[in-house]
Chains A and B, each alone.
Chain A
Amino acid sequence: MKILILKNNLAEGVGVVERAVGTTEKLPSLQHLHLRTTDAGLTVTATNLELAIQATITGKILEHGECSVPASVFSPIVRNLTSERVTLESVHKVLSLVTDNYEAKIPGGDPKDFPLLPKVSEGAIVVSIGVGTIRRALLSVVGAAQYSEVRPEISGVLFCVREGRLFLVATDSFRLAEYVVPETAFESPSDVQVIIPLRTTEEILRVFGDDEEQLSISIDEHQVLYATPTRRIISRSVDGVYPEYRAIIPTEVGTEALVARQEFIAATKLVSSLAGRANDIMVTVEEKGKYLELSSGESSRGENRYRIPAKIHGDAFSVVFNWKFLFEGLRIYHGAEVILGVKKGGPTLITSASEPFIRYVVMPIRS
């Protein structure tokens, strides 16, 4: 194998895949990066057997071939190279890396020992979506999910095509976020439902950064392949049935408060400074009030309150929230105003008129 390549491209590609390098595995090849030339350039692969990441880097191929090198040696060298161009050449399992003023020889492993990537079956359903769209959707919901050993089926993000729309949903059983992608922003040959492991969603957000590209997501029974022309992630899906979450989102609320979002965020952060161990802050609206009052603390620890002007429709209420959950529900929106919809004894719904495709539901703390 011999290839001439730009240092920046190589460093970027290696940076993308090296997060998938296994750290604890006993098999040495799992701590390696696998390099192989293809017609498109140099393909670098790493896997920890839970997921695999691949990046294809353009370069001038002088001789086809493959090799495998320890990531812990190869990647710092690539990162710190000072020259613009690099030549990689592998002879007898030793990779030499040559620039105009630097030369390194790295003993590698047998490329045949590198794990084979599982293939997505022929019958896989392929959904096509803009990278920007899936990123926005995932960023909106992923904060509501939490890894749970007891309930693996919610330790991930639900990806569900139904009735012509794509739903992304995450929950940790205390709050739930839903993002709806309209028909025009993606293509899918049929309805499909899969749960993407949380770890994989993190990698998707990291690996696919170019909002202009199209991401193709191939889903079969056991695994999902996420691919753009130059990057690929292959990961298993979470087994299990996602809960029928739609019943949770309240269709009607008792009281609605329209609030400026930035001020609500600022108030939540400020008032949280005296919140108790349960992160509890109280949100109160008085009968015919014109304010939303946030308060926390108690006399021994110190107490504080913050009043935000609000347009209120409905009865008085007083609810206690974990401020982090409330904050997350405000953070995912971008518009100037949000609507806090409170139902007595039930979940609270946070929505925004400017982003009707996002819904965030949070349960209060029992006071």
Chain B
Amino acid sequence: MTNTELWKNVLGEIELQISRPNFLTWLKQSELVDRNDRDGVVLVSLPNNFAKEWVRNRYHKLILGSLRSIDSSIKNVDYVVASFAATSAATHKQALLRKALPLKPQQPLIELRIDPVTNLNPKYTFGSYVVGSSNELAHAAMQAVIENVGTRYNPLFIYGGVGLGKTHLLHAAGNTIMERYHGSVRVFYVTSEKFINDVVWAIRNRRMEDVKRRYRDVDVLIVDDIQFIAGKPTTELEFFYTFNTLHEHSKQIIISSDRSPAAIPTLEERLRSRFEGGMIADISYPDYEMRLAILNTKTPPNTLQEKTIEYIATKVQKNIRELEGVLNKVLFYQQYKNEHITMKKLDEIISETIQITSKNITAGDIIRTVADFFEVPQVELTERSRKQEIVEPRQITMYLLRDVLKLSYPHIGEKLGKRDHTTAIHAFEKISREMTQNPTLNQKVALIKERVYKGV
């Protein structure tokens, strides 16, 4: 006999023994939700706390007797309150209010749609994710993971610079997994910052067990910006344990970082080797076609001229977030002024968006940062030394002086060992060219740039 049949029989019997209003109020919406054969306890759900209190005090004997007459192995009955049915609270007034709300054009608070259980933001989907040569590996790896959760690439480690769409990819993957498996696979997205805060909180409040449970009781753990846990020993250790527990049970782990595991300096060796044990995929700078495709997806139809979009794609090269920033500004300007944008204004918008950080950076900052990065003495860069190990740092310095500060070539040559302006031009072109072909160089330059901007 199934639980439903058993309960139906019991209710049929009880209905005869109590008044109809009582039956309708207290037992009509009850269900037998669980039956433990081992200790003979059945679990009955009731619509509210009042019903639970009433049934437990007044009908318990009746119910137990009736259950036992059908199945004598049943020893006891426990009661629970069913999950809050949304319909119970609606009052007439509230229903009226609901009708009066003009919801059509009102914009919602988007972050509120973030699922509090999974932390996933439904805004990010694969529908709005543009795939090109720079991210196709990461995208393909992610698709494989979605198809084979926990078995194909575990962990999947995605790295790439700021504003290239790592977070978008992670959320989209989580959302797709939730959708595809209809929520049967539990996904949990967390930034490493949140993870650190949780660990700190748990230590302070002695609630480590809570944190352990939250992070280990999932099928897919997505950790964004893992580089921030480097150099925080307790958090790293906790993450290490969590990682192992999940990995042992074939639970999927997806991690993102702004650089490859090998390039995170203070990361503990055992974590590094674990990250490298799965699949590592990088996202590099988008090429022109891809930038154009991104702009075209983000631009509402018939708002911008083709040449405006192309111009933005040519000018903004290194960061998709900046690309969107420029686009939004241009759209806003056009909407506000109600006129087509001029090239002059476009240049203005682009420069104010992407150069905002370079204002206080000096040539000295760049030279010092490059020297620190390659661990070479600063003077070597600015002297006429021709040592092999100095060549690349010096060329990178030249490239950055041009790229970040827009210094003139003669000035750059002058600053770095009184060289000819053609040397500077050659260096800039060489690095620019090689960056598109050599991901390691690309990575180095991006890291140095980041340090320059942060003033490290």
Binding site for B on A (CB under 8 A): 25-28, 30, 47, 49-50, 52, 115-119, 146-150, 152-155, 171, 173-176, 191, 197-199, 222-223, 236, 238-245, 247-248, 277-280, 316, 318, 322, 344-345, 347, 361, 363-367
Residues on A with beta carbons closer than 8 Å to the beta carbon of B48: 49-50, 236
B108 touches A174 (CB 8 A): yes
B94 touches A147 (CB 8 A): yes
Q: Does B22 contact A (CB under 8 A)?
A: yes
Residues on B with beta carbons closer than 8 Å to the beta carbon of A236: 48-49, 81, 84
Given contacts A248-B111, A322-B102, 15 further A-B contacts (CB under 8 A): A119-B53, A146-B97, A152-B84, A154-B112, A173-B108, A173-B112, A176-B109, A176-B112, A198-B94, A243-B112, A244-B114, A277-B102, A278-B106, A344-B328, A363-B108
A27 touches B25 (CB 8 A): yes
Residues on B with beta carbons closer than 8 Å to the beta carbon of A241: 116-117
Known: A147-B89, A198-B89. Contact between A366 and B119, CB under 8 A? no
**A-facing residues in B97-119 (Cβ within 8 Å):** 97-98, 101-109, 111-114, 116-117, 119
Smallest Cβ distance from B120 to chain A, in angstroms? 11
Query: Which residue of B has the minimal Cβ distance to A22?
Result: B25
B54 touches A245 (CB 8 A): no
Our pick among B50, B112, B119 for the contact of A117 (Cβ within 8 Å) is B50
Our pick among A239, A280, A316, A318 for the contact of B84 (Cβ within 8 Å) is A239
The count of A-to-B residue pairs whose CB atoms sit within 8 angstroms is 139
Q: Is the interface of B mostly helix, strand, loop or mixed?
A: helix
A223 touches B49 (CB 8 A): yes
Chain B 34-63 near chain A by CB (<8 Å), digits 1 or 0: 000000000000001111111001100000
Residues on B with beta carbons closer than 8 Å to the beta carbon of A238: 84
Query: Which residue of B has the minimal Cβ distance to A115?
Result: B50
Measured in the bound complex, the distance between the Cα atoms of B113 and A363 in whole Å is 14
A365 touches B89 (CB 8 A): no
Binding site for A on B (CB under 8 A): 20-22, 24-25, 48-54, 57-58, 81, 83-84, 86-91, 94-95, 97-98, 101-109, 111-114, 116-117, 119, 205, 328, 332, 336
Measured in the bound complex, the distance between the Cα atoms of B119 and A318 in whole Å is 33
Smallest Cβ distance from A109 to chain B, in angstroms? 11
Known: A49-B51, A240-B84, A244-B116. Contact between A174 and B106, CB under 8 A? yes
Known: A117-B50, A244-B119, A248-B111. Contact between A149 and B87, CB under 8 A? yes
Our pick among A117, A155, A361, A366 for the contact of B105 (Cβ within 8 Å) is A366
Smallest Cβ distance from A49 to chain B, in angstroms? 5
Measured in the bound complex, the distance between the Cα atoms of B49 and A50 in whole Å is 8
A280 touches B105 (CB 8 A): yes
Residues on A with beta carbons closer than 8 Å to the beta carbon of B86: 148-150, 152, 155
B107 touches A365 (CB 8 A): yes
Query: Which residue of A has the minimal Cβ distance to B81?
Result: A222
Q: Is the interface of A mostly helix, strand, loop or mixed?
A: loop
Residues on A with beta carbons closer than 8 Å to the beta carbon of B53: 115-119
A118 touches B52 (CB 8 A): yes
Measured in the bound complex, the distance between the Cα atoms of B112 and A365 in whole Å is 17
Measured in the bound complex, the distance between the Cα atoms of B100 and A147 in whole Å is 12
Query: Which residue of A has the minimal Cβ distance to B83?
Result: A239
A278 touches B54 (CB 8 A): no
Measured in the bound complex, the distance between the Cα atoms of B112 and A236 in whole Å is 24
Residues on B with beta carbons closer than 8 Å to the beta carbon of A243: 111-114, 116
Measured in the bound complex, the distance between the Cα atoms of B117 and A347 in whole Å is 24
Smallest Cβ distance from B65 to chain A, in angstroms? 21
Residues on B with beta carbons closer than 8 Å to the beta carbon of A365: 105-107
Query: Which residue of B has the minimal Cβ distance to A364?
Result: B107
B332 touches A345 (CB 8 A): yes
Query: Which residue of B has the minimal Cβ distance to A317?
Result: B336
Residues on A with beta carbons closer than 8 Å to the beta carbon of B116: 153, 240-244
Residues on B with beta carbons closer than 8 Å to the beta carbon of A363: 106-109
Our pick among A155, A247, A361 for the contact of B114 (Cβ within 8 Å) is A247
Measured in the bound complex, the distance between the Cα atoms of B101 and A244 in whole Å is 25
Most A CB within 10 A of own CB, among B81, B84, B88, B106: B106
Smallest Cβ distance from B438 to chain A, in angstroms? 37
A361 touches B109 (CB 8 A): yes
Known: A27-B25, A147-B89, A280-B105. Contact between A171 and B84, CB under 8 A? no
Measured in the bound complex, the distance between the Cα atoms of B49 and A26 in whole Å is 18
B114 touches A50 (CB 8 A): no
Our pick among A116, A153, A222 for the contact of B54 (Cβ within 8 Å) is A116
Query: Which residue of B has the minimal Cβ distance to A155?
Result: B89
Query: Which residue of A has the minimal Cβ distance to B91?
Result: A199
Smallest Cβ distance from A321 to chain B, in angstroms? 9
Smallest Cβ distance from A23 to chain B, in angstroms? 10
Smallest Cβ distance from A160 to chain B, in angstroms? 13
